[in-house]
Amino acid sequence: MVITPSSAVIVAELELTIPLKSATCKVGMSVMALLMPLWAIAIPFCLGLSTSMVLSDASRMTPLVAIIVFSVLILIPAVAVVLAAVFEDDVLLVSKEGLAFPLRMMNRLGYRRARHWQDLQAATIQLADDSGKTPKGNINLFFKSGGATSIKIDKMTQSDLEQFLLAIEIWGSNCQRAPELIQFQDQYQNDNRGVESLSYTQMWEEELSRRFSSTCFVPLEPDHVLKGGALKIVRQLAFGGLSAIYLAQEDKKGIVVVKEAVIPANADEQSRAKALEMFEREARFLIKLDHPQIAKVYDHFQEDGRNYLVLDYIRGQDLRQLVKQNGAQDEAKVVGWGAQIADIMHYLHEQSPPMVHRDLTPDNLVLDNDNNVVLIDFGAANEFVGTATGTLVGKQAYISPEQLRGHASTKSDIYAFGGTLHFLLTGADPEALSASRPKKQVEHLSSAIDDLVSQCTEMEEKDRMPTAREIKNVLAKLREQHQAEVEAAATAQTEETAAKAIMG
């Protein structure tokens, strides 16, 4: 039985801590650190000495002088502590409840640093006339209850800025966003193609452009509600052909991703019935999957003749974009990632019945911020639509001969896995319908990794690596070898350094 796992979108996290990197705060903290011996040690010492003097002989100070001296000696450390707290607090906290601004902004906010999203009235942008790669200017926020503040764009990282703009769009539902701000957000996402934190919109658009042709399919508009209001569409992430992906607000889970698929209007009844039956069957199995490195599918339903999956909400960069940006990857790193992918593949193949993914390619594998590879497959709806249209699931260079003939098996995933390793090691897609030898393109690769890729991509199923478990065992030995080589190199370097020190 062939089941295709589904996917999730790469977007912002539900709670953000955004460092604003204020020059004022940096200077202030430096000054307070330099003066710390004075206000944290010398002044308290003087206070203690003065107190001792007055207690031993009250006549040494008149009451007025004593009041002045003690007030100054107490006030200086108190002010210093407050200033240190202000300069140290240079982060903007963003959550679905609202915004919490740094202490230094309180005077412009009417001394109310925490503001709910309902209080956000308007957001505008002022861009500086600068042609540099990093945009400069301010995002201005205005609140109904009074107060306004500005946040410098160039003080935020690319990822933080993109997520902050998305948070305003999603949670600031009553906020009037200036047209210039909306245009900037759209353009900024488009410009981020190929950077370390790939724009979630771009990832979905690229995937859909690879898989679907143009049709008259009309996607849902923002604020459209599904499931009796339990799901509210926030925005379209991408659409094309017979499918669309949306960012949505769900009552219980917060921000989720909704994948929509539609059967072609010209599909015959038999094809339509088969596609619907398969969508239902696959969705039920997908919901049962529970692996930390497989994006979770939470729900599926049909409404108004359309079929929906409700998906997990994660963040990362797919392996194709990573290689596109950084080139072929180091063998030790690929071995580590390969072990994780093999573990995912083993989990799927050990299901009852076994789940054959059929599209295990670099496009469907995402590296998150913890260096974990996560499977985010777009295949469930594609398999569903493909049944009605006769299209083939899987990228050509990663499709095994038997899958091409319509008889995919667990060995088909092993073939795609080998092709994925080839791509990571060489930076190029493998040659279609052939055993891959990455060492032919990258000579310094070990024979062990070259043999593993070749054994995974043999043309005949019987000649391939038999199971994902055995692949895991091979990769575990390779990791041990790489680790031993690293330790040996470190020992040699230490000995060489010690020898030079003795000779010197």
- Nearest C-alpha neighbor of 365 from the set 409, 332, 329, 401: 329
My answer on whether 403 and 323 are in the same domain is yes
* E-strand stretches of 45-181: 91-94, 98-100, 114-116, 120-127, 137-143, 148-152, 176-177
In the chain, the amino acid numbered 16 is L
My answer on whether 44 and 182 are in the same domain is no
Q: Which of 88, 112, 130 is the last residue of a domain?
A: 88
What pTM was computed for the model? 0.57
Task: State the Cα angle at 246 between 379 and 315, rounded to 5°.
Answer: 75
Residue 76 in any domain: the answer is: yes
In the prediction, which pLDDT does 262 show? Answer: 78
Q: How do strand 306-311 and strand 297-303 relate by DSSP bridges?
A: antiparallel
Q: What is the separation of C-alpha 289 from the centre of its chain, rounded to a whole number of angstroms? A: 21
My answer on whether 439 and 356 are in the same domain is yes
Q: Which of 41, 62, 88 is the last residue of a domain?
A: 88
Residue 281 in any domain: the answer is: no
CB-based contacts of 461, cutoff 8 Å, min separation 6: 400, 402, 409, 411
Residue 8 in any domain: the answer is: no
My answer on whether 484 and 354 are in the same domain is yes
pLDDT block averages, 10 residues each, the chain of length 504? 35 62 75 81 82 77 81 84 75 85 84 89 84 76 91 83 82 84 76 43 42 58 90 77 78 80 75 78 83 88 88 79 92 96 96 87 86 74 46 71 86 96 96 94 96 96 96 96 87 79 70
Helix (H) / strand (E) containing 301? strand 297-303
In the prediction, which pLDDT does 238 show? Answer: 60
Helix (H, G, I), strand (E, B) or coil at 114: strand
Residue 236 in any domain: the answer is: no
- Torsion angles phi and psi, residue 187, rounded to 5: -65, -40
Residue 258 in any domain: the answer is: no
In the prediction, which pLDDT does 242 show? Answer: 67
User: How many other C-beta atoms lie within 10 A of the C-beta of residue 63?
Assistant: 9
Contact 219, 204 (CB under 8 A): no
Range of the domain at 145: 92-191
My answer on whether 452 and 466 are in the same domain is yes
My answer on whether 42 and 157 are in the same domain is no
My answer on whether 50 and 148 are in the same domain is no
My answer on whether 335 and 480 are in the same domain is yes
My answer on whether 83 and 110 are in the same domain is no
In the prediction, which pLDDT does 391 show? Answer: 45
Contact 73, 53 (CB under 8 A): no
Contact 306, 248 (CB under 8 A): no
SS3 content of the chain, % helix, strand, coil (to 5): 50, 20, 35
In the prediction, which pLDDT does 396 show? Answer: 78
My answer on whether 433 and 464 are in the same domain is yes
448 burial (CB, 10 Å; 0-12 / 13-18 / 19+) is middle
Contact 308, 301 (CB under 8 A): yes
358 burial (CB, 10 Å; 0-12 / 13-18 / 19+) is buried
What is the CATH classification number for the domain harbouring 431? 1.10.510.10
Residue 285 in any domain: the answer is: no
My answer on whether 334 and 406 are in the same domain is yes
Residue 478 in any domain: the answer is: yes
In the chain, the amino acid numbered 231 is L
My answer on whether 116 and 30 are in the same domain is no
